[in-house]
Amino acid sequence: MHASTWRAWRRLLISTMGVVILLALGASPSSAQTSAPSISEDAVYEVDAETGVIQVERAFRVDRASGVGSIQVPVDASSENVTVQGGNRTVSLSVAGGEDYAYVTIPASVLTGADAVLRYDIVGNPNRSKSPGRVNPALSAWEITVVGSPGKSNVEILVPRPYRPEWAGTNSVAYIDKTDRVEIKVSRINNPTDFVLAVAARDDRKLDVREFNIDGNFVRLHFWPGDDEWADFVEDNARLALPVLRERIGRPWPEVDTLDIIESPRPYLIGYGGWYAINLGEIEVGELLLTSTLIHELTHAWFNDSLFQERFITEGLADTFARQAALSLLEGDIAPEVREAMEETLEVPEQPDLDSTVARPLLDWSSSAFGSFDIERYGYQTSFYLVNELYEEIGPDAFAEMLVAADLDYTAYPASDPTETVFVAANWRRFFDLAERIGGSEQAEDLFRSYVLREEDAALLDERSAAIEAYEAFVLRSRPYDVPINVRDALNAWAFDAALERIDEADAALSDLLALDARAAASDFDLPIDLTQEYYAGDFDRIAPTLEVYSRALDRLDEVAPLRERSLSWLETAGLGDTDINYYFDLATARINNGNPLGAIEAADQAVEQFSGLGAAGLRTIGLRAVIGAVLLALAGFAIRLGIALARRRSSPTLRLDALEGGDDESIDRVA
């Protein structure tokens, strides 16, 4: 929404339109001293279903009319066929004044009867004229004032279907929905001097339509029939501004289908130049050719409550980037008439007056309930000043990076991955974090304390400062590890107590990690595990047992390492035999390298056991060898003795005789 055209459509001054001017013509001294006469007014405004012309009938009754002169009645400048009837007399009247203030004068002669009935038609003024009356096939719009005394004026408005009525100026409206028309009534108006009711009857089906394409994005204009000047203006400026906005903001145009831009009196009814209906993809802007207003509303395709919730951020961003887009365009080659309109409406931020009676923290500038004219103006001006100051400080590139982070939900406390996402409320705290942590602003805190925060909110900044100081120190200690995500998530959520608790927990885990790294490095050993992800995820319950078992394994390997270097005695060497003395040492190293610290401890224990048993094994080996030697010696002696015995037996005479006698006769050759 944009408010640079504050009540631009309501040009007629209330102070003059609502004042009844009584001219005493020839009044006697006695009558001049009497109290002012009481005037009643009953007015009916009816929209003609065929032509859209507003037909008006206003009946006046003047009590104590003796000596009362004529009555001056404000009317729309486009009023025609003006007559007043008093009794049986009808008088034609002429509209006097001009666009700023038009009126007719009811002569005293027709006020002497019971009623004076004023009739006229509002046929509509040219577009963009000062007088508010507009009549075309799609719209009938006008303003209503009254001249009756307090509590004695009644207004009735008849709007035939298919027109849709809208109004602004009072909440005391009776709305009667009938089959063929809508009736709007305001009765017994107590503040006639200040009363102004703006009314519009719309039939948007009769709007002219124009469609065009801007770099693949479709735009459709809906405008009052015949108002090609407005359509040309909007198309020319949209074609120029949208590509520049996309470049400046650093994000693609969010519209995925078609953006509809509607020429409408509705924003003017409540004092605004236009607004963007996010859920409908529609911009409604008034008839005035205001470049700043149009570009402001175009920026709301990016800047709305889906990006940041608070109104001051959204409106400040819209004004800032509308200005930046205009400045960029003015540096280029654009048509003279476009340049002139752009220069005339270029918004310039002004430092707010904190001593003003309407000054208030921007957090109190409600996003739903509109305040007074002065409060609204202060809210817009202060929001513009605040965001523009941040933009000028950190520059377009850093500001664009900040908006990308906001749009894509990137964390304000990035680690190695700058695209890490976080899901927190898109409120002023998020905006503040992004301005400082991503944009690099050093003025954000002072600006927010001065213009945005209430006293109780400002105390949060002190808590935040303490938490960030602890965080920054921890970042340095944590290297080469990234700070755990749960610490940074707590900071993003402004849960500062939780962040400090998590820093303490992470600090303990970090100490264990760094101690183990140093322990492994001292042992000239590369740990086979990477606990970075567990640490990053804040999964400290999984880290501690792992670190403990690896520490135990490294300690055990260090304990048994001297055994590997020790010289073996002859007895231990005998016990070792052909076994590889390095087997269990190598097995322990292999197991820890493969991520099996418990197996490494087991192998180290086996190495110790092996060494401790070498002496006994040596004794057993030597004893066994002695026994085997004795047995072998005994067997050898027995064999020798057996051999000798056998030899002796072969050389004995008896044995020879026995052999002869016992032999085979046929084998002996005898001679006689």
Write out 324-367 in H/E/C secondary structure: HHHHHHHCCCCCHHHHHHHHHHCCCCCCCCCCCCCCCCHHHCCC
- Per the prediction, the chain carries an average pLDDT of 82
**At 368, is the pLDDT very low, low, confident or very high (cuts 50, 70, 90)?**
low
Is the distance from CB of 304 to CB of 21 less than 8 angstroms?
A: no
Q: Report, as an integer, the average pLDDT of 442-468.
A: 94
| For residue 9, pLDDT beyond 50 | no
Residue that wins the pLDDT comparison between 649 and 542: 542
Q: What is the pLDDT of residue 17?
A: 31
Q: Where are the domains of the chain?
A: 14-204, 207-407, 460-538, 543-651
Q: What is the pLDDT of residue 537?
A: 79
Q: Report, as an integer, the average pLDDT of 392-409.
A: 95
Is the distance from CB of 286 to CB of 306 less than 8 angstroms?
A: no
Distances (CA, A) of 658 to 48, 642, 644, 667, 668: 169, 22, 21, 15, 14
What single-letter amino acid sits at 485? I
Q: What is the pLDDT of residue 565?
A: 60
pLDDT tens digits, one per residue of 583-616: 766 787 777 777 777 887 777 777 666 666 544 5
Q: What is the pLDDT of residue 122?
A: 97
Q: What is the pLDDT of residue 171?
A: 78
Q: What is the pLDDT of residue 404?
A: 94
Is the distance from CB of 434 to CB of 381 less than 8 angstroms?
A: no
Is the distance from CB of 282 to CB of 151 less than 8 angstroms?
A: no
Q: What is the pLDDT of residue 119?
A: 97
**What is the pTM for the complete model shown?**
0.77
381-400 residues labelled b (16+ CB within 10 A) or e (exposed): bbbbbbbbbbbebbebebbb
Q: What is the pLDDT of residue 279?
A: 79
Q: What is the pLDDT of residue 25?
A: 31
Residue that wins the pLDDT comparison between 517 and 477: 477
DSSP state for residue 638 in the 8-state scheme: H
Distances (CA, A) of 58 to 124, 234, 313, 523, 563: 19, 39, 47, 103, 117
Residue that wins the pLDDT comparison between 570 and 322: 322
336-364 residues labelled b (16+ CB within 10 A) or e (exposed): eebeebbeebebebeebeeeeebebbbbe
**At 20, is the pLDDT very low, low, confident or very high (cuts 50, 70, 90)?**
very low
Report how far residue 506's alpha carbon sits from residue 490's, in angstroms, rounded to the nearest whole number.
Answer: 13
Q: Report, as an integer, the average pLDDT of 118-123.
A: 97
pLDDT tens digits, one per residue of 220-260: 999 999 999 999 999 999 999 999 999 999 988 887 678 99
| For residue 650, pLDDT beyond 70 | no
Q: Report, as an integer, the average pLDDT of 247-274.
A: 87
Instruction: Report the range of poorest mean pLDDT among 161-175, 184-198, 201-215, 623-637.
Output: 623-637
Is the distance from CB of 165 to CB of 182 less than 8 angstroms?
A: yes
Q: What is the pLDDT of residue 1?
A: 57
Q: What is the pLDDT of residue 491?
A: 96
Q: What is the pLDDT of residue 670?
A: 45
| For residue 640, pLDDT beyond 90 | no
Residue with tokens 């009317």: 75
Residue that wins the pLDDT comparison between 403 and 66: 403
Q: Report, as an integer, the average pLDDT of 532-543.
A: 77
Domains 14-204 and 207-407 share a fold: no
Coil, helix or strand at residue 398? helix
Among residues 299, 283, 350, which one has the least CA distance to residue 308?
299
Q: What is the pLDDT of residue 24?
A: 31
Q: What is the pLDDT of residue 27?
A: 35
* pLDDT cut 70: percent of the chain above it: 79
* pLDDT cut 90: percent of the chain above it: 50
**Cα angle for residues 649, 651, 657 (degrees, 5° grid):** 90
pLDDT tens digits, one per residue of 201-227: 999 999 999 999 998 889 999 999 999
Q: What is the pLDDT of residue 67?
A: 56
Instruction: Compute the residue count for the chain.
Output: 672
Architecture of domain 207-407: Orthogonal Bundle (1.10)
Instruction: Report the range of poorest mean pLDDT among 269-273, 337-341, 600-604.
Output: 600-604
**At 30, is the pLDDT very low, low, confident or very high (cuts 50, 70, 90)?**
very low
Q: What is the pLDDT of residue 77?
A: 96
Q: What is the pLDDT of residue 141?
A: 95
Report how far residue 487's alpha carbon sits from residue 495's, in angstroms, rounded to the nearest whole number.
Answer: 10
In the chain, % helix, strand, coil (3-state, to 5) comes to 45, 20, 35
Q: What is the pLDDT of residue 211?
A: 96
| For residue 4, pLDDT beyond 70 | no
Is the distance from CB of 45 to CB of 158 less than 8 angstroms?
A: yes
| For residue 498, pLDDT beyond 80 | yes
Q: What is the pLDDT of residue 373?
A: 81
Q: Which of 477-491, 501-515, 602-616 has the highest mean pLDDT?
A: 477-491
Among residues 256, 314, 320, 333, which one has the least CA distance to residue 292?
320
- Given this structure, which CATH class describes domain 14-204? mainly beta
Residue that wins the pLDDT comparison between 68 and 293: 293
